[in-house]
Amino acid sequence: MASRLLQRGVSLSGLLFWCVLLGGAALIGMKLFPLYNEKMKVDFAFEEVLRETNVGNWTKADLVKAMMKQFEVSDVDRWSTPEFTKLLQVVPSPGGKSRTMSLNYEIRGPLCCDLDVVLNYGKEVELPKGGSE
């Protein structure tokens, strides 16, 4: 009378495979999260500046100052004020009834060895009706 034992479980090679797969996914996630987090902080700064009253009458210098203040609160230290002033564009909207504030830049972060991850950031918001640059 031979009884069959049914064994259940994970083999060592299966365990190693899943550990390598999950470890690789975690590593990529840890490398990409700071880039994504910075993007979210910049988006939040845009939203906070737009919530200010009378933002439509602000000059470009006022907008830069408000954005840099938000960056200081959010711990975004990618730019100095002169560098950010060059990146931030404030131009009249088509039709001339309002202005558009836009920011375009590239976030680059190392992934592995000589391989980098690049996130192209571009955001354009219309400022409420107000003064000129």
At 93-120, the pLDDT tens digits run 777 788 889 999 998 888 888 899 999 9
**26 domain residue, yes or no:** no
Total number of domains in the chain: 1
**86 domain residue, yes or no:** yes
**92 domain residue, yes or no:** yes
**47 domain residue, yes or no:** yes
Taking the C-alpha atoms of residue 83 and residue 88, their distance in angstroms, rounded to an integer, is 9
Tell me, yes or no, if the pTM score tops 0.85. Answer: no
**28 domain residue, yes or no:** no
Domain hosting 60: range is: 36-127
DSSP codes joined into one string, 66-128: HHHHHHHHHT--S--HHHHHHHEEEEEPTTSSSEEEEEEEEEEEEEETTEEEEEEEEEEEEEP
| pLDDT of amino acid 132 | 47
**22 domain residue, yes or no:** no
Lowest pLDDT segment from 13-17, 53-57, 58-62, 86-90: 53-57
Lowest pLDDT segment from 54-58, 77-81, 106-110, 116-120: 54-58
Q: What is the mean pLDDT of the chain?
A: 88
**10 domain residue, yes or no:** no
Mean pLDDT score, 6-30: 91
**9 domain residue, yes or no:** no
